[in-house]
Amino acid sequence: MIYLDYTATTPMDSEIIELYARLQREFFANSSSLNKLGQRSDYMISRCKEDIFNTLGIKNYDIVFTSNATEANNIAILGYLSNYKSGHIITTKIEHPSVFEVYKHLEGVGFKVDYLDIDENGKIKLGELKKLINKETLLVSIMWVNNIIGAVEPIKDVIEILKDYPKCRLHVDGVQGLCKVEPNFDFNKIDFLTLSAHKIYGPKGIGGLIYKKNLEIGKIMYGSNAQKGLKPGTMDVGLVGCMCKAIKKYYPLTEKHYEYVKSLQDRLIEGLKKLDRVHINLVGESPYITAISIPNINGETIVHALEEREIYVSTGSSCSSKLKKPEKTIMALTNNESLATSLIRISLSHLSTVSDVDALVCALEKIK
């Protein structure tokens, strides 16, 4: 089997699987219980928070552990904006649906939304942001690394621009960036940072929203006061511990893995360039993601054809793959519907090998 869909999800690290079992055995007690077992669970969670902050070099932040990054994005955007009835907010045309659709929803209930365009490198146009942002802008959501084309967005420049707008908060969806691309910006300059565990060899079922302390975030769910009421419900110490472990283990390896995956991607691109029918949409700065199109062949057809050879890739974001519409990021990048419907996303990992890449190129060549 050749798995090349690591952007959709990653297999769990076996050390983390074992940790999960240990934590379930030893820390099953409810972290909201005041008895000693419960308090041990609670303490474990606070240790995990501390570990995460220390690993990422973050100070004066809090984190709410969510069921996934989608939930974290929703809490960030809807929660923060629940302080307002209307106002101006900005995002991009290439966000993940868990951001994009939330902005669409807000547009329908009275917020004025601007969607930033991207340039030929898949990066947002900073000039456009400068033009659109104003003293009344409440929130800007920009992803760190795009999940379809691997473009690394200029978060550092966005931070600079936002300096002049103290009222405006910055939300960064860091899911495809963390542990994959070395950040060239300071996490401490961001108001909300969304993370996911299962993209970095941790378990599914847990994500997190890191947010600046003292930010007023309204509730979008109701229940107990667990996690300051932002995500009520019993916490799974096992999942929290595994997310923490994944970050602790993989964040320090970011650069090393990047270099390796970059060399793999170089080889992949070299191979793909020899195939006449293949159009490479973008060689983004993140070597983990390569978006190609084979015009006039539906993306799904290719996926299934490769699948017969036990090669697993995807047709773009798995979160919107069932929509059967032209992929919005490729549309934004190329404005070409044919490319956007025949999209294939190849995503690599430090676990991928040269022979995986060669086998894929070979298979693509053979597909008629």
Partner 1 sequence: MISLILVRYGEMTLKKKNYRQFLQMINDNIKRKLREFHKIKYFNTDYRFYIYLNGEDYQKVIEKLNTVSGLSSYSLCSETSNNYDDIAKLGIKLISEYKKTERASFKVETNRADKSYPATSIEISQEVARRILPNVSGLYVDVHNPDITLNIDLRSEGTYLYVETVKGLGGYPSGMAGSGILMMSGGIDSPVSGFLALKKGVNLKALHFASPPYTSDLALQKVVDLTEVLTNYASSGVIELLVVPFTKIQDSIHNNASNIYMVTLMRRAMYKIASLICKRDGIDVIINGESIGQVASQTLESMKVVNEVTNIPIIRPLATFDKEEIVDIARRIKTFDISIRPYEDCCTVFVPEHPIIKPNLELVLKEEAKCNLDDLIKEALDNIETIKLDSVHKYNVFSKNDEFDL
Catalytic residues: 319
Shortest spacing between CB 145 and partner 1, in angstroms? 26
Identify which of 53, 93, 52, 99 has the alpha carbon closest to the alpha carbon of residue 72: 99
Distance CA 261, CA 255 (A): 10
Residue among 34 and 109 whose Cβ is closer to partner 1: 34
Query: Which of 76, 244, 272, 306 lies at the binding interface for partner 1 (CB under 8 A)?
Result: 244
N- to C-terminal Cα distance for the chain?
21
Residue among 230 and 272 whose Cβ is closer to partner 1: 230
Size (the chain), residues:
368
Q: Can residue 128 be called a binding residue for partner 1 (CB under 8 A)?
A: no
Q: Can residue 42 be called a binding residue for partner 1 (CB under 8 A)?
A: yes
Return the range that interacts with partner 1 (CB under 8 A); candidates 6-14, 39-47, 117-125, 346-354. 39-47
192 close to 3: Cβ distance less than 8 angstroms = no
Residue among 39 and 338 whose Cβ is closer to partner 1: 39
Q: Can residue 300 be called a binding residue for partner 1 (CB under 8 A)?
A: no
Shortest spacing between CB 48 and partner 1, in angstroms? 7
User: In this structure, is the dihedral angle defined by the CA atoms of residues 99, 101, 107 and 113, taken in order, positive or negative?
Assistant: positive
Residue among 45 and 89 whose Cβ is closer to partner 1: 45
Residue among 188 and 353 whose Cβ is closer to partner 1: 188
Query: Which of 17, 24, 51, 301 lies at the binding interface for partner 1 (CB under 8 A)?
Result: 51
Helix, strand, coil fractions of the chain, as percent rounded to 5: 45, 20, 40
Q: Can residue 19 be called a binding residue for partner 1 (CB under 8 A)?
A: yes
- Which class for 22: exposed (0-12), middle (13-18), buried (19 or more C-beta within 10 A)? exposed
Q: Can residue 189 be called a binding residue for partner 1 (CB under 8 A)?
A: no
Buried b (16+ CB within 10 A) or exposed e, 250-266: bbeebeebbebbeebbe
Query: Which of 40, 93, 204, 219 lies at the binding interface for partner 1 (CB under 8 A)?
Result: 40
Query: Which of 245, 257, 345, 350 lies at the binding interface for partner 1 (CB under 8 A)?
Result: 245
Task: State the number of binding residues for partner 1 (CB under 8 A).
Answer: 17
Task: Please state, in angstroms and as integers, the Cα–Cα distance from residue 262 to each residue in 150, 186, 265, 288, 316, following that order.
Answer: 12, 23, 5, 8, 20
Q: Can residue 13 be called a binding residue for partner 1 (CB under 8 A)?
A: no
Q: Can residue 34 be called a binding residue for partner 1 (CB under 8 A)?
A: yes
Instruction: Map residues 247-286 to x or -, x wherever contact with partner 1 holds by CB under 8 A.
Output: -x--------------------------------------
Torsion angle (degrees, nearest 10) of CA 245, 249, 251, 257: -140
Alpha-carbon Rg for the chain in angstroms: 21
Return the range that interacts with partner 1 (CB under 8 A); candidates 33-41, 82-90, 121-129, 260-268. 33-41
Distance CA 359, CA 173 (A): 33
Distance CA 316, CA 301 (A): 13
Q: Can residue 28 be called a binding residue for partner 1 (CB under 8 A)?
A: no
- With a CB cutoff of 8 Å and minimum separation 6, the contacts of 39 are 33
Return the range that interacts with partner 1 (CB under 8 A); candidates 4-12, 239-247, 308-316, 323-331. 239-247
Residue among 150 and 207 whose Cβ is closer to partner 1: 207
Q: Can residue 241 be called a binding residue for partner 1 (CB under 8 A)?
A: yes
Residue among 3 and 65 whose Cβ is closer to partner 1: 65
| ∠ Cα 303 307 313 (to 5°) | 50
Applying CB under 8 A, the residues found at the interface with partner 1 are 19, 26, 34, 36, 39-40, 42-44, 47-48, 50-51, 241, 244-245, 248
